[in-house]
Amino acid sequence: MSDSPFLSVVIPSYNEMANLRKGVLDKIEHFLVREGYSYEVIIVDDGSNDGSREFVEEFIKENNNNFQLLKNHHLGKAGAVTAGMLKARGKYKLFTDMDQATPIEEIKKLLPFVEKEYDVVIGSRSNQRKGSPFIRQFISRSAVLVRKVLVGLYDISDTQCGFKVFKSEAAEVLFEKMNKFHSGFKEISGSAVTAGFDVELLYLATKMGYRIKEVPVEWLYVETRRVNPITDSISGVLDFARIGLNRVTRKYNV
């Protein structure tokens, strides 16, 4: 479509008042305006109950028509990202986190690749994981080994960085398939960090022949109460096992 923006930025938001009060939306807006992109920012509220939905509504009302709020039931990050990416109209579609652990400026490192021969370009954090506690680094490295054994994706070192950009056509196909495969995602209670979402998405992308490029990006560990290293690690292993089983039983055949 001729009125489609150059870049869509999709940001899932669940009880994000702490980050919103830091001015992350202003920072994102200032960067996009400064770069001169035609853009849209879609903030997908995932059933927040801490006032962050109202905060975003007020920001949009007072500041920028290029920002929009998509109100979801509480489906978890996977459901929120999927809803936002399916609504996005940009030539290129990025999803990123509200905490901006990978700053929006890093898109400049990814765009040259997605503008050329790649369909999916993903941010990759350094092995040092700057600022991250040792236990988190150990668990992350262990998860990579488990993922490679159960799922594959041997050529990708960091599937979990929440900074990924897609050509529009690839995003439409991949996220529609994800949405159908999960029957639109189910409503949940509490917070949920689903390691399987990114792995499943990238597995589908490789299976369908999309070209994927991994690009190092700046990343700074941001403390969050939503992450529990033990329970999230167990959940991640179960996710990888589920994906591995689906892979073996050919449920991902396209």
Contact criterion met (CB below 8 Å) for 123 and 164: yes
DSSP string, 65-98: TTEEEEEE-S--HHHHHHHHHHH---SEEEE--T
Q: Residue 218 has what pLDDT?
A: 94
Supply 197's token pair.
């979402």
Q: Residue 131 has what pLDDT?
A: 55
Supply 222's token pair.
């941001």
Q: Can you point out the beta strands (E) in 163-225?
A: 164-167, 212-216
pLDDT digits (tens, 9 = 90+) for 141-186: 666 667 777 787 888 989 989 999 999 999 999 999 999 999 989 8
Q: Residue 139 has what pLDDT?
A: 54
Q: How far apart are CA 54 and CA 41, in angstroms?
A: 16
Q: How far apart are CA 163 and CA 209, in angstroms?
A: 21
Q: Residue 1 has what pLDDT?
A: 46
Over pLDDT 70: what percentage of the chain? 85
Distances 34 to 30, 31, 109, 163, 219 between C-alpha atoms, Å: 6, 5, 16, 20, 22
Contact criterion met (CB below 8 Å) for 236 and 199: no
Contact criterion met (CB below 8 Å) for 12 and 88: no
Q: What is the pTM of this model?
A: 0.89
* Structure-token match 């009880």, residue found: 15
Q: Residue 202 has what pLDDT?
A: 95
Q: Count, in order, helices (H) and strands (E) of the chain.
A: 9, 7
Q: How far apart are CA 100 and CA 78, in angstroms?
A: 17
Contact criterion met (CB below 8 Å) for 7 and 92: yes
CATH number for the domain whose boundaries are 7-248? 3.90.550.10
Contact criterion met (CB below 8 Å) for 168 and 92: yes
43 closest CA partner among 16, 12, 88: 12
| Residue-range domain boundaries for the chain | 7-248
Q: Low-confidence residues of the chain, pLDDT below 50? A: 1
Would you report the helix, strand and coil content of the chain in percent, each value rounded to 5? 45, 15, 40
Q: How long is the chain?
A: 254
Write the single-letter amino acid at 238.
Answer: L
